[in-house]
Amino acid sequence: MTLGQLAFKDLLRNPTRLLLTVLATGIGVLAFVFLQTVISVFYSGLAVTQPDRLAVRSKISITQPLPLSYKRRIESVPGVTRITYAGWFGGRMSETREDFFPNFYVDKATYLKVYDEYVAPADQLAAWMADPCGAMAGKSLAERFDWQIGDRVTLKNAVYPGEWTFTVRGIYAGRTPQIDTTLFAFGYRCINERLPEELRDYVGIYTIVVDDPARSAQVAAQIDAMFANSAYPTRTESERSFQMSFIAMSSAILTAVRIVAYGVLLILLLVVGNTLAMNVREKTVDLATLRALGFRRRHVAALVLVESLVIGLAGAAVGLLLAPPVLSGFVRVVSESFGPIGTVVITGPTYALALGASVGVALLAGLLPALRAARLQVAEGLRRIA
Amino acid sequence: MSEAAQVSVAPIVRLRDVSKAYFRAGMRLPVLEHVDLEIAEGSFIAFMGPSGSGKSTLLNLISGLDRPTEGVVEVAGRDLGRLSDGELAEWRAANVGFIFQLYNLIPVLTAAENVELPLLLAPLNRAERRRHVAAALDLVGLSPRVHHRPTQLSGGEQQRVAIARAIVTDPRLIIADEPTGDLDRKGAEQVLDMLQELHRALRRTIVMVTHDPHAAERADLVRHLEKGRLL
């Protein structure tokens, strides 16, 4: 036997309690991962933002369009190397919310030169480029509706009245798992040509790529100055800031979710702390016996901390193993009832945070019982009846 | 053996004007008062006295589990009052073997593992530890029960495991606190036979506290305590 084996055997003193504590910790970790993932879904747009990409939108409101004629003027600004534009279409296949999916018009000629995180087979790309009403669907979206290349999708729209039929020409994937694959993109030309005169030649936002991210602020100021006194003033900001403006709309919800997530950790702290305190109380005589035999304060403290560490690690393992199936089940149920909720993946940082939080909380919970065990008066401890 | 004969050998335990008091709610509660004592190396001494007379406190002071309020406790050549907590723990591991009334075996460990516990602190490899454990369990006649847990052993057997644990490091001093207090007559006799054998064969110093006059008879010397004073 070694000191490590002694610690391990000591763990199995009350296996039922240990199992229940590990399960409770696992469920806590699962809840934490779940809530953190919900938060990360909101921030997933930030994960794919590029420091050299800027969004040019209407200064008045994100819903206000900008003239198509701005394209040439913006790309003439020194430092701008690439430009594209896009806009929210907002079409629906039916009135039911289950059918909802995000759909956009884009400038096909330039879009993928700016957003190179979307990838599709070359033949599909070529077919998409060649057909103005050809659409590129994300992999998740295509799977959801079982769309194949060549399928036709008809959308109705209140902003752009009438029925709009698009042909699926390509199915894209993301370069990384965080990339949203629930989008539907078709050519601006397809709708612009059919619009009434007064709605024609306006786009939602421009996205530009600058040659030097360090000069982003300077380029942005130059663009905004150019249109400051026009009927359509602009606001140019980093892609990150642009995404943050969407997230800010849900800040109250996100704060509440964060509070609940950290509340879960606090509950874990109390559950594990209570278990460890109970264990130390129950084995006071044994700890005193070990001290009498010559074990030092640090040895008995280590026994308690090893127990808390094992609870933290085992709880994290249970929670992290359960998280992917539980989360994908949740996404499926929510998607069926309320429509798609974007690409939901448990990110590496979320795994790391959950593992760290579980182990950290367990060790923190073990600190006080470990100190108590270490400070135990041997003679007094031996007097206690087991 | 007479008391004079005992102290003619170099004392392993020497207490000089030792007092111990506890403080509860601002009040001083004396437990031992002005105790002077010498115990010769290799002797078997029993302390008797009514409950609250200070027997266990005296045992705790001698074994380095507690510190005196006043006076000097010298055991095996060390002034225990001068040792730090860590030094005291190290000293106990090297010099003292404990036998408790309720055996104090760790319930999740087998007999062999319980005996091995004190050896985990010694600079021995696994094979050496196993050899020592086997020898100690053989000495107390429990070789066939090495893999049994305390709950699978009778009270007498558990106390024999505790004796094996007490002697496995070959300490100079064995402290036995009511070693037969929780045993039936037969088990008690076996344990007392074993203590006597250890004393005779290995010349270990045994300091025992007991309520049982029959158990005390096995010692070379019996001292009585009353109201914190050594009679």
Give residue-wise pLDDT tens across range B178-227. Answer: 998 888 888 889 889 989 888 888 888 999 999 889 999 999 999 999 98
CB A277 within 8 A of CB A286: no
Mean pLDDT of B99-112: 93
**Domain extents for chain A?**
3-44+251-383, 60-232
Q: Which amino acid belongs to residue A193?
A: E
Is the pLDDT at A343 greater than 70? The verdict is: no
CB A203 within 8 A of CB A75: no
Contacts of A296 in chain B (CB under 8 A): 85-86, 89-90
Is the pLDDT at B7 greater than 70? The verdict is: no
Of A8, A1, A30, A6, the closest CA to residue A324 belongs to: A30
Mean pLDDT of B141-149: 91
pLDDT at A43: 77
Say how far apart CA A131 and CA A269 lie, in whole Å: 59
Helix (H, G, I), strand (E, B) or coil at A153: strand
Say how far apart CA B165 and CA A286 lie, in whole Å: 14
pLDDT at A213: 86
Is the pLDDT at B5 greater than 70? The verdict is: no
Mean pLDDT of A100-121: 92
Q: Do B108 and A378 lie within an 8 Å CB cutoff? A: no
Q: Which residues contact A213 (CB under 8 A, 6 or more apart)?
A: A51, A52
CB A64 within 8 A of CB A360: no
* ipTM given for this complex: 0.91
Give residue-wise pLDDT tens across range A47-99. Answer: 677 788 999 999 998 889 999 999 999 999 999 999 999 999 989 888 776 77
- CA A15 remoteness from chain centre: 37
Tell me the average pLDDT of chain B: 90
What pairing do the DSSP bridges indicate for beta strands A80-88 and A205-210? Answer: antiparallel
To probe the interface with A, which of B61, B99, B105, B117 has the most A CB atoms within 10 Å? B117
Considering only the beta carbons, identify the residue of A3, A289, A292 that sits closest to B120: A3
Sign of the torsion formed by the C-alpha atoms of A114, A120, A121 and A126: negative
Least confident of A333-342, B33-42, B118-127: A333-342
Mean pLDDT of B123-149: 92
Say how far apart CA B102 and CA B177 lie, in whole Å: 9
Is the pLDDT at A246 greater than 90? The verdict is: no
To probe the interface with B, which of A279, A293, A296 has the most B CB atoms within 10 Å? A293
Q: How confident is the model at residue A366 (pLDDT cuts 50, 70, 90)?
A: very high
To probe the interface with B, which of A382, A383, A384 has the most B CB atoms within 10 Å? A382
Residue A129: burial class (beta carbons within 10 Å; 0-12, 13-18, 19+): middle
To probe the interface with B, which of A2, A376, A378, A384 has the most B CB atoms within 10 Å? A378
Contacts of B108 in chain A (CB under 8 A): 9-10, 12-13
Give residue-wise pLDDT tens across range B166-178. Answer: 999 999 999 999 9
B85–chain A nearest CA distance, Å? 8
Considering only the beta carbons, identify the residue of A2, A9, A379 that sits closest to B109: A9
pLDDT at A167: 96
Contacts of A291 in chain B (CB under 8 A): 89
A310–chain B nearest CA distance, Å? 17
pLDDT at A314: 94
- Enter the tokens of residue A110: 């330039």
Q: Do A297 and B85 lie within an 8 Å CB cutoff? A: yes
Where on the phi/psi map is residue A150: left (φ > 0), alpha (ψ -120 to 50), or beta?
A: left
B60–chain A nearest CA distance, Å? 7
Is the pLDDT at A318 greater than 70? The verdict is: yes
Say how far apart CA A354 and CA A259 lie, in whole Å: 15
A18–chain B nearest CA distance, Å? 14
Considering only the beta carbons, identify the residue of A289, A295, A382 that sits closest to B121: A295
Say how far apart CA A135 and CA A150 lie, in whole Å: 10
CB A219 within 8 A of CB A236: yes
**Nearest residue on chain B to A6, alpha-carbon basis:** B109
pLDDT at B100: 92
The size of chain A, in residues, is: 386
pLDDT at A99: 79
| Chain B residues whose C-beta sits inside 8 Å of any chain A C-beta | 56-57, 60, 63, 65-66, 85-86, 89-90, 92-94, 98, 100, 102, 104, 106-109, 113, 116-118, 120-121, 126, 129, 165
**Domain extents for chain B?**
43-60+84-230
pLDDT at B4: 38
Pick the CATH number of B43-60+84-230 from 3.40.190.10, 3.30.1540.10, 3.90.1150.10, 3.40.50.300: 3.40.50.300
A4–chain B nearest CA distance, Å? 11
CB B56 within 8 A of CB B85: no
Of B18, B129, B13, the closest CA to residue B76 belongs to: B13
CB A375 within 8 A of CB A337: no
Is the pLDDT at B6 greater than 50? The verdict is: no
pLDDT at B3: 44
C-alpha angle with apex B178: B176 to B179, nearest 5 degrees?
65
Tell me the average pLDDT of chain A: 89
Give residue-wise pLDDT tens across range B57-98. Answer: 999 999 999 999 999 999 988 999 899 999 999 999 999 999
Mean pLDDT of A107-114: 94
- Which of A9-19 are b and which e, b meaning 16 or more Cβ less than 10 Å from the residue's Cβ? ebbebbeeebe
Considering only the beta carbons, identify the residue of B65, B90, B94 that sits closest to A292: B65
Give residue-wise pLDDT tens across range A149-191. Answer: 999 999 988 778 888 999 999 999 998 877 888 899 999 999 9
Q: How confident is the model at residue A134 (pLDDT cuts 50, 70, 90)?
A: very high
Is the pLDDT at A42 greater than 80? The verdict is: no
Is the pLDDT at B228 greater than 60? The verdict is: yes
CB A261 within 8 A of CB A39: yes
Q: Do B98 and A292 lie within an 8 Å CB cutoff? A: yes
Q: Do B102 and A386 lie within an 8 Å CB cutoff? A: yes
Q: How confident is the model at residue B1 (pLDDT cuts 50, 70, 90)?
A: very low
Half-sphere exposure of A63 (CA within 13 A, CB side): 2
Neighbours of A148 (CB within 10 A): 8
Q: How confident is the model at residue A341 (pLDDT cuts 50, 70, 90)?
A: low
How is residue B10 annotated by DSSP?
P
Q: What is the dihedral of CA A245, A247, A251, A255, to 10 degrees?
A: -140
**Nearest residue on chain B to A287, alpha-carbon basis:** B106
Strand partners, A105: A87, A186
Q: How confident is the model at residue A36 (pLDDT cuts 50, 70, 90)?
A: confident
Q: How confident is the model at residue A299 (pLDDT cuts 50, 70, 90)?
A: very high
How is residue B80 annotated by DSSP?
G
Q: Do A289 and B100 lie within an 8 Å CB cutoff? A: yes
